[in-house]
């Protein structure tokens, strides 16, 4: 009984076989089939390697939502060098809530030489080149996100030469915590002092001939400081053409949550537009000489997540490649043989043309002669 049941089960499994086997004696091989098979295997191998490279790669997914966090503080990271002595300039922030953030809270004034060393100039040229490429190819930002904390530091290297030149500039660097509302970070003549109606700068003791707001922005970012991230104003250098010149930067800050396989941080991206003009009250160009960075906080928050292709999806795509190439090459090979047989058959039919056979009575016969055994000898 057990053997009988096994035979029935085996016969049932044979009936369910969707891949019937053809005996080798019924299989005919050809040179054209071998050529097509070689092309198919080569294509499969190439596409499989390419698909594996896609599987290893990752991409960034962007999601948008309303930013509901309006009570926390916003950190501003600053590293700006101004071509004026430190006792002549002052930096502070004034937001829309009329809240003044004094520079003494987190900014350091360091007397430096404005001209860069060759090594520093090389880094600045590299940053400017990257900035120009980022404006043309926005997808490079994903590469920067994925390489955060792994790439080389973008900070300006310290001076290696012991120059005897006296400091002619002031490096203002550090960080400030401000309210998450629109504000104005500015560097202008004189130290800032509180005022009941806002604030003021002690600029009366500084002569206009000393004004020089040529500056270099080595770093400016909002939120958590992430090494390797290149911000839109990093590497910017502006040279003033007049003593009374105003430089304005209009910045839109977008809160960003970054989640990659390397880091998870809360930072801020921003876009910027620039404007500069000479202050000339007689010509109707009013204002105050200095560097003004007016920022506004976007109400949307962006979540950037690094994603990877699932393994099951890789297998499905791989099966599609293998099966699709085998089916396509089989159809093309069959169609090619069909066309070739039609063409060769026409040549064969044309080779059997009618011939004239002379008869004893002087007539001719246009019929094909019968092929007999004696005629073959």
pLDDT tens-digit readout, 289-335: 889 999 999 989 999 888 888 899 889 999 998 888 888 888 888 88
Q: Model confidence at 250, in pLDDT bands (50, 70, 90)?
A: very high
- Please give the average per-residue pLDDT across 137-155, as a whole number: 67
pTM for this model (two decimals): 0.69
Task: Give residue-wise pLDDT tens across range 162-200.
Answer: 666 788 899 999 988 888 888 889 888 877 776 666 666
Please give the structure tokens belonging to residue 125.
Answer: 């040229």
Please give the structure tokens belonging to residue 90.
Answer: 């002052």
Task: Kindly report which listed range (28-37, 74-83, 300-309) carries the lowest average pLDDT score.
Answer: 28-37
On whether residue 1 sits in a domain, the answer given is: no
On whether residue 215 sits in a domain, the answer given is: yes
Domain coverage including residue 162: 71-244+287-295
- State residue 220's pLDDT score: 92
More confident: 323 or 203: 323
Q: Where are the beta strands (DSSP E) in 181-263?
A: 183-189, 192-195, 198-201, 215-223, 236-238, 245-259
- Of 289, 96, 274, the closest CA to residue 184 belongs to 96
- State residue 225's pLDDT score: 82
On whether residue 303 sits in a domain, the answer given is: no
More confident: 287 or 233: 233
On whether residue 209 sits in a domain, the answer given is: yes
Other Cβ atoms closer than 10 A to 182: 15
Q: What angle do CA 34, 37, 39 make, to 5 degrees?
A: 115
- Of 63, 140, 123, 141, the closest CA to residue 301 belongs to 63
Number of structural domains found in the chain: 1
DSSP H or E stretch at residue 314? helix 311-351
More confident: 216 or 226: 216
On whether residue 127 sits in a domain, the answer given is: yes
- State residue 10's pLDDT score: 73
CA separation for the pair 93, 293 (Å, rounded): 9
- State residue 248's pLDDT score: 94
CA separation for the pair 124, 132 (Å, rounded): 12
CA separation for the pair 285, 248 (Å, rounded): 14
On whether residue 228 sits in a domain, the answer given is: yes
On whether residue 231 sits in a domain, the answer given is: yes
On whether residue 84 sits in a domain, the answer given is: yes
- State residue 15's pLDDT score: 72
Q: Model confidence at 275, in pLDDT bands (50, 70, 90)?
A: very high
- State residue 18's pLDDT score: 65
- Please give the average per-residue pLDDT across 18-24, as a whole number: 69
Task: Give residue-wise pLDDT tens across range 91-101.
Answer: 888 887 666 66
CA separation for the pair 109, 171 (Å, rounded): 6
- State residue 170's pLDDT score: 92
Could you tell me which residues are beta bridge partners of residue 259? 264, 305
- State residue 376's pLDDT score: 45
Compute the mean pLDDT over every residue in the chain, rounded to the nearest whole number.
79
What's the distance, CA 261 to chain centroid?
Answer: 16
Q: Model confidence at 216, in pLDDT bands (50, 70, 90)?
A: very high
């Amino acid at each position: 009984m057990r053997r009988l049941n096994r035979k029935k089960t085996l016969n049932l499994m044979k009936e369910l076989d969707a891949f019937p086997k053809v005996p080798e004696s019924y299989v005919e091989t050809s040179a054209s089939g071998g050529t097509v098979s070689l092309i198919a295997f080569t294509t499969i191998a190439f596409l499989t390697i390419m698909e594996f490279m896609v599987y290893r790669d990752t991409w960034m997914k962007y999601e948008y939502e309303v930013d509901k966090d309006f009570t926390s503080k916003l950190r501003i990271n600053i590293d700006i060098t101004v071509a004026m002595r430190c006792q002549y300039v002052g930096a502070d922030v004034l937001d829309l809530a009329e809240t003044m953030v004094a520079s003494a809270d987190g900014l350091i004034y360091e007397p430096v030489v404005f001209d860069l060393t060759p090594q520093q100039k090389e880094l600045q040229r590299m940053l400017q080149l990257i900035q120009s490429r980022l404006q043309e190819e926005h997808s490079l930002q994903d590469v920067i996100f994925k390489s955060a904390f792994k790439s080389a530091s973008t900070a300006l290297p310290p001076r290696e030469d012991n120059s005897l030149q006296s400091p002619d500039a002031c490096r203002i660097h550090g960080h400030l915590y401000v309210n998450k509302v629109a504000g104005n970070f500015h560097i202008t003549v004189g130290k800032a002092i509180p005022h009941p109606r806002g604030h003021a700068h002690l600029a009366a003791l500084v002569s206009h001939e000393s004004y020089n707001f040529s500056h270099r922005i080595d770093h400016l970012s909002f939120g958590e400081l992430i090494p390797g991230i290149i911000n839109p104003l990093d590497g910017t250098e502006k040279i003033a053409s007049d003593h009374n010149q105003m430089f304005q930067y209009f910045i839109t800050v977008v809160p960003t949550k970054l989640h990659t396989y390397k880091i998870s941080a809360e930072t801020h991206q921003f876009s910027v537009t620039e404007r500069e003009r000479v202050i000339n009250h007689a010509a109707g160009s009013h204002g105050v000489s200095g560097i003004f960075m007016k920022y506004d906080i976007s109400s949307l928050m962006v979540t950037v997540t690094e994603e990877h292709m699932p393994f099951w999806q890789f297998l499905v795509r791989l099966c599609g490649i293998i099966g699709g190439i085998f089916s396509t090459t089989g159809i093309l090979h069959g169609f090619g043989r069909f066309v070739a047989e039609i063409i060769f058959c026409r040549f064969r039919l044309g080779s059997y043309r009618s011939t004239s056979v002379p008869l004893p009575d002087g007539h001719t016969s246009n019929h094909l002669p019968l092929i007999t055994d004696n005629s073959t000898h």
